[in-house]
């Protein structure tokens, strides 16, 4: 059904303006405004495919109930459009995931579902449309291999994120499979300290309650570890955490014992890496007055793009074009607010220079379609495009 939905998808998510900006060396100029667009931004291959499959599923099964397990991606506009197209969300109030039947169609999101959810849906005989991204499946493959070989998966990720929950569940496919989820350097340092010299077992278990597999025993389950990560984490942080664990295991078991106690592989997906690299290049190449990062506030990869930008220039992470309220006011998520905290926003006054040239950097997370990026550019032009 790909061709049948191509026009509908293009009308809903493409932008002729963004295409023109891309063709113009990623630069948009109007009056005193110059917008510099990152060279990689917006929909990644996994999201593109997931949204495409959702529209195809709606078209392929007319007359049948079509569900999504939850948000297909972390973008409110895309999810609302899918609701508008008649696709129901099992995560919405009133829907019952355990009362489905053979006539129902269920779409699994790009970040996958847990092993238990998959089993529950399969047991009800529904038709499943699996849009789990290949890059996520690659992580799962490695986590399963760790479990098979008796290694505990140390997952750098956000414990409440759907992808990390799904990845962790893969470790439990084998009886001795274990996992531990670490959010950041601070948590990695606590685990590394325990690996090196032990510590307060109860305090450790309390700290990682909800972030470790059932029955986790740090004295037993940190003897052999393998690193993995949520595909959308900050690449530099994931690599640094991997090295922290390598160093700790080397200290504990010596160089000779390292290979039997430690494994690692890079599971940041290429789309995430390219978007982070592109924004780093943009910040290095262009003097900017400010940076706009567009994407859902619960989108991990968008939050990480905002973190990178905020280190270099005044940055506003906005969920949608409507956040640009006026030339004086912008509504945004401060980068200090954790991604998982949802819709916490602030309003900044005087965010655009009142006179003189303005250089705005722009990027968008992997779940933001081009039409949203185009609307942001148009709003900027309205506010400061005059000479």
- Check binding of 182 to ligand SF4 (CB under 6 A): no
Which residues belong to the active site?
163
| Contact call for residues 363 and 282 (beta carbons, < 8 A) | yes
Break the chain down into helix, strand, coil percent, rounded to 5: 45, 15, 35
Question: Shortest approach of ligand SF4 to residue 231 CB, angstroms?
Answer: 4
- In the complex with ligand SF4, the residue whose CB is nearer, 293 or 366, is 366
Stretch that binds ligand SF4, among 1-9, 132-140, 154-162, 368-376 (CB under 6 A): 132-140
164 belongs to the binding site for ligand SF4 (CB under 6 A): no
Neighbours of 336 (CB within 10 A): 8
Please give the Cα distance from 213 to 51 (Å, whole number): 32
**Smallest distance, ligand SF4 to C-beta of residue 268, A:** 8
Beta carbons within 8 Å of 224's beta carbon, 6+ residues apart: 149, 150, 151, 152, 260, 261, 262
Q: Give the H or E element holding residue 106.
A: strand 105-108
Judged by CB under 6 A, how many residues of this single chain contact ligand SF4? 15
69 binds ligand SF4 (CB under 6 A): no
Q: Write the Ramachandran bin of 249: left for phi over 0, alpha for psi from -120 to 50, otherwise beta.
A: alpha
Q: Using CB under 6 A, which of the segments 196-204, 268-276, 277-285, 355-363 binds ligand SF4?
A: 268-276
In 3D, which of 118, 36, 107 has the Cα closest to residue 71? 107
Q: Is 44 an interacting residue with respect to ligand SF4 (CB under 6 A)?
A: yes
Q: How far apart are the first and last CA of the chain?
A: 48
Which one among 272, 299, 304, 370 touches ligand SF4, defined by CB under 6 A?
272
Q: Which of 15, 34, 135, 153 binds ligand SF4 (CB under 6 A)?
A: 135
- The Cα 365–Cα 305 span in angstroms is 7
Q: Please report, as residue ranges, which positions from 91 to 120 form the binding site for ligand SF4 (by CB under 6 A).
A: 110
The single residue among 5, 366, 372, 380 that binds ligand SF4, judged by CB under 6 A, is 366
- For binding to ligand SF4 (CB under 6 A), which residues are involved? 44-47, 110, 133, 135-136, 231-232, 269, 271-272, 301, 366
């Amino acid at each position: 059904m790909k061709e049948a939905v191509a026009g509908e998808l293009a009308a809903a998510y493409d932008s002729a303006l963004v295409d023109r900006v891309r063709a113009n060396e990623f630069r948009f100029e109007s009056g005193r405004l110059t917008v510099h667009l990152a060279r990689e931004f917006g929909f990644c291959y996994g999201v593109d495919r997931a949204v495409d499959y959702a529209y195809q599923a709606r078209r392929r099964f007319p007359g049948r109930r079509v569900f999504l397990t939850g948000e297909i991606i972390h973008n409110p506009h895309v999810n609302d459009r899918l609701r508008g197209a008649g696709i129901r969300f099992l995560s919405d109030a009133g829907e019952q995931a355990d009362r489905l039947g053979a006539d129902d169609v269920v779409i699994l999101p790009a970040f996958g579902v847990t092993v238990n959810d998959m089993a529950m849906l399969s047991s009800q005989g529904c038709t499943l449309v699996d849009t789990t991204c290949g890059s996520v499946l690659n992580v799962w493959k490695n986590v399963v291999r760790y479990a098979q070989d008796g290694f505990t998966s140390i997952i750098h990720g956000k414990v409440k994120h759907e992808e990390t929950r799904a990845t962790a569940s893969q470790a439990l496919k084998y009886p001795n499979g274990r996992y531990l989820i670490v959010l950041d350097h601070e948590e990695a340092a606590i685990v590394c300290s325990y690996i090196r010299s032990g510590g307060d077992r109860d305090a450790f278990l309390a700290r990682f309650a909800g972030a470790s597999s059932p029955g986790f025993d740090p004295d037993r389950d940190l003897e052999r570890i393998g690193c993995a990560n949520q595909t959308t984490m900050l690449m530099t942080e994931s690599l640094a955490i991997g090295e922290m664990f390598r160093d700790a295991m080397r200290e504990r078991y010596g160089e000779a014992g390292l290979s039997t106690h430690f494994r690692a592989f890079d599971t940041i997906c290429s789309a995430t890496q390219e978007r982070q690299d592109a924004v780093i290049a943009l910040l290095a190449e262009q003097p900017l007055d400010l940076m706009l990062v567009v994407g859902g506030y619960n989108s991990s990869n968008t939050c990480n793009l905002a973190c990178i930008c905020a280190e270099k220039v005044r940055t506003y992470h906005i969920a949608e074009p409507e956040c640009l309220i006026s030339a004086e006011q912008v509504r945004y998520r401060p980068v200090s607010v954790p991604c998982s905290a949802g819709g916490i926003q602030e309003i900044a006054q005087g965010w655009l220079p009142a006179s003189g040239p303005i250089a705005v950097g722009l990027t968008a997370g992997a779940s933001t379609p081009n039409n949203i990026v185009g609307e942001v550019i148009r709003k900027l032009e309205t506010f400061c495009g005059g000479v």
